[in-house]
A and B are shown apart, each in its own frame.
Chain A
């Protein structure tokens, strides 16, 4: 026979367990709408039977069950699915940031609209057409200057818009790093608490829910991998081999201003302080948007501005104003390298160490359809290292110019108004190399030396190299012209020449003949400038200005389209994953309600059982005996 009060114990245990279960149901219902909450379930287990079979066995069939106890309270959660969601979160956030900011870059283009850089440039060309018809009128000259100013305003404005986007991105980088660091700290401190609770053998479900929520948010910001979730000491969040959180130790991300990149923030590895390229996640997306996409847009604008002003200046300085003055530039850029030879102190050590020249021209007029009759190899700077361009005797000048332009070198070539060859620097891909600076020109044969009159000597001895502060001495003298490079973003600093604004009579309309100043009715310079619009002027890779504008519109539009579509796809996939998680871990109120009924009945039954047992004991205690 068992203990007299064992029934009450069984009832008591049932009541306790069922009230725990009811409490858990209540907990689930209260947290139905809490973010990151996984529903909890009480695992009920039969209590171990009363005695071991080896001891004190009564001669009666056994083992009598001893009721129910709570084994554990666990979260219903699929860790594999959680891992997938975390991995996906960084992709979604990456495209989300891209979608948002590329839209701003698209808006900066202001196309196809009435007030874009392109339409103002169209009006500018038109004013030159008008001047070519009425070269003797002051009103036409004034119109040209006005349109030129309007165009400069549009270019400045676009530059400002793009720079504003870059600055906003930079701020966002700082804020995101701050957010990520906050999460890292919080996760580490939660780990401390979780560790203490687990040491006591309990399941810190709510703390772990919070930790998983924070880890999920961190995963959206940076592309992390989370491991060892079950073991609080070894709980590990790492990215690219660097541990961000390990147990209770959190290592925050660090940023430092980059002097080679306008002082924008760059992320460095916390252990070695080296540059750390983050790819993926919102942070990676912001850095990429700032350093690749926006920088490229600004570079594109600078490129167009530099070419455009150079082309107009070239023709304009050969023309004559009303008083017979010549040699005036139409556009001025401030600041330029001040040294006339282009020598510049790049390392900042107080001594000139490089030459910053944007364009070199030859001195001999060439006929584009003529065969060269020379053989050799031209060496030009490429994206990484140098690029070689061969030429054979049967090639025409036109062929060679095309070959240079298609060779992948960071140089573009064309024949100018007088048939002389021009080599211009294209913006460099690598931020370490300055933009708009010609880095290297070398010819093993005589094409650039005697034929075109660019270099003074062939072979490596006569090569033009930017690291030589006196590099212009390697250029063939006497009539070779070169243009020193702009120091800062040209699109922010160009303007119409102040001299022309003060006296429109100095604006050149005619080219004159044979060294004599142009007559009043000579509009040939104006016509030559107006025809720049459609001629093949090589703006970077684009052949004409039309090509340039169409290309830049298409490029940013396609980026935007890709970002939008990919983001929508990512969102849909994320939704499917979270729906799946929700179906596993989410609270269904109807289910909890029916569970509540179930436990309520169980509780009532247990309570009834206790009172029955109580009555039985009452019989023994009070009714038996004396």
Chain B
């Protein structure tokens, strides 16, 4: 406590305090006009750090939301097409059951064949369906080309060129979308699964009893790499394929010792050797001619069983034209029913994906407002607090000025005559 004040002391003090007050008033005004509590990072560094995280997080959530909405929209389109295919197959099923009934004459069966042919054409165009952006829906990742290629030719009992074979020329790649932090969902339905009928089986004709893998390589089963080490025998190869996460079962034929590959869920097998390797070629599963691409690269000597939905419908139609009732009621019906079951499975999977997206969507919708709230707490100004603060500072400022005005002016000189 000083015992003596110079004349400047009061003026200096007043200046000091008033300048500080003005800074505070200015800050309060800035807060009010920008509605932000943080004007500079130094006002609350921890809150600023949190705020930067919350902002990024909020952006991410809105992106995931958008992603899942898009995927859901795509699923609707795919569902429409698959539903149509299902309806057509139902109709074909009814016709087949009718035709298997022994009361129809050959001409009636031929007329049925014509109807089935039309359904076949429709199924092919469903298989080649394109989405609103012009990309193929069922071609896997090869979205810029058709999924199926139809081969035409003459058919006994019919006039003109009809479809005699439908080949899948899409890929089996499945594009994934990120629907939530770190979790992705496949977005496509490749045609080799959806429009397939029976389990596919490949029987190699090569005796693999004494075969060993020459060097470290891998084989690609349905796109998944199964690593093989040098010195692995055919049994080891089969065991590794079985242990891998693919719906394919490998075994050795007891009679010929050839490698047998069977699908455990109906789909068309895509087999490949890793670049630089030739295990499947050596084992007689794949053909050795260069330039062959899956799924058309199966060795000509190997026996291949199982076909697609189109194959089943084509065989049925051909037999209707030929009038083979036994086939119609037996293998024909079985093929159609297998196709139908497969499509229904795919539609069910689509439904479950849709459900998952719904759940994810709901969760995102719940989470987004919470993050925004956290962000707001960190950064935004509480309006009532801001207003009262400003008013209080304003009042004290005026009081200080009034007091200074009273105290500063008089000196002794005013009282000396």
A158 an interface residue at 8 Å Cβ cutoff?
A: no
A126-B63 in contact given A514-B275, A583-B5, A593-B413 (Cβ < 8 Å): yes
| Secondary structure of the B contact surface, majority rule | mixed
Minimum Cβ distance to chain A for residue B19 (Å): 10
Q: Which of A550-587 contact B (CB under 8 A)?
A: 550-551, 553-561, 563-564, 575, 579-580, 582-587
Identify the closest chain A residue to B145 (Cβ): A520
A590 touches B (CB below 8 Å): yes
Whether B175 sits at the interface, judged by CB under 8 Å, is: yes
B4 near A588 (CB under 8 angstroms)?
yes
Residue on A nearest B49 in the bound complex, by CB: A554
Residues of A within 8 A of B285 (CB): none
Query: A residues 8-32 with Cβ under 8 Å of B?
Result: 32
Q: Mark B262-295, 1 if CB is under 8 A from A, else 0.
A: 0000000000101100000000000000000000
Q: Give bound CA distance, A584 to B379, whole Å.
A: 48
Chain A residues with Cβ under 8 A from B70's Cβ? 133
Chain A residue with Cβ nearest B71: A133
Tell me the B171-212 residues at the A interface (CB within 8 Å).
171, 173, 175-178, 181-182, 184, 187-188
Q: Check if B403 is an interface residue, CB within 8 A of chain A.
A: no
Known: A514-B274, A554-B49. Contact between A530 and B178, CB under 8 A? Answer: yes
Verify B175–A522 contact, CB threshold 8 A.
yes
Query: A582 touching B41 by the CB < 8 A rule?
Result: no
B374, CB-defined interface residue at 8 Å:
no
Which of A101-109, A451-459, A491-499 participates in binding chain B?
Answer: A101-109
Contact between chains at A531 and B178 (CB < 8 Å): yes
Q: State which of A136, A553, A594 has its C-beta within 8 Å of the C-beta of B52.
A: A553
- Does A33 sit at the interface, judged by CB under 8 A? yes
User: Quick check: B5 and A588 within 8 Å, CB to CB?
Assistant: yes
How far in angstroms is the closest Cβ of chain B from A100?
Answer: 12
Distance between Cα atoms of A549 and B56 in the complex (Å) = 10
Q: Which residues of B contact A107 (CB under 8 A)?
A: 40
> Which of A55-63, A111-119, A181-189, A254-262 sits within the interface?
A111-119
* A534 in contact (CB, < 8 A): yes
Q: Give the contacts of B121-177 with A (CB-CB under 8 A).
A: 133, 135, 139-145, 171, 173, 175-177
Asked if B48 CB lies within 8 Å of chain A CBs, one says yes
Which residues of chain A are near B220, meaning CB under 8 Å? 513-514
Of A109, A111, A580, the most chain B CB neighbours within 10 A belong to: A111
| Min C-beta distance of A166 to chain B, whole Å | 19
The stretch among B6-14, B240-248, B330-338 that forms the contact with chain A is B6-14
Cβ-based interface call for A43 (8 A): no
A320–chain B nearest beta-carbon distance, Å: 11
Given the known A-B contacts A112-B38, A557-B48, are A521 and B175 also in contact in the complex, defined by CB atoms under 8 Å?
yes
A593 to B416, Cβ gap below 8 A?
Answer: yes
Decide if A103 touches B42 in the complex (CB within 8 Å).
yes
CB-CB under 8 A from B275, the residues of chain A are 514-515
Nearest Cβ distance between residue A362 and chain B, in whole angstroms?
Answer: 17
C-alpha spacing A510/B177, complex, angstroms: 13
The docked-state distance in angstroms from the alpha carbon of A587 to that of B4 is: 10
Do A589 and B411 form a contact, CB below 8 Å, given A521-B173, A557-B45? yes
Contacts of A106 in B (CB 8 A): 40-42
Question: B396 in the interface, Cβ–Cβ < 8 Å?
Answer: no
In the bound complex, residues from chain B placing their C-beta under 8 Å from that of A520 are 135, 141-145
User: Bound state CA distance, A579 and B16, in angstroms?
Assistant: 11
Instruction: Contact check, B7 vs A589: say whether CB atoms are below 8 A apart.
Output: yes
Interface flag for B230 (CB, 8 Å): no
Option from A519, A554, A586 in Cβ contact (under 8 Å) with B46: A554
Closest A-B pairs by Cβ, 8 of them: A586-B6, A557-B45, A560-B42, A521-B143, A557-B41, A554-B49, A521-B141, A583-B2
Supply 5 A–B pairs (Cβ within 8 Å), ascending by A. A106-B41, A122-B56, A531-B178, A546-B52, A549-B53
Given contacts A522-B173, A534-B60, A553-B52, 14 further A-B contacts (CB under 8 A): A122-B55, A126-B63, A510-B141, A513-B173, A521-B175, A550-B49, A553-B45, A557-B42, A579-B12, A584-B4, A586-B8, A587-B8, A588-B6, A593-B412
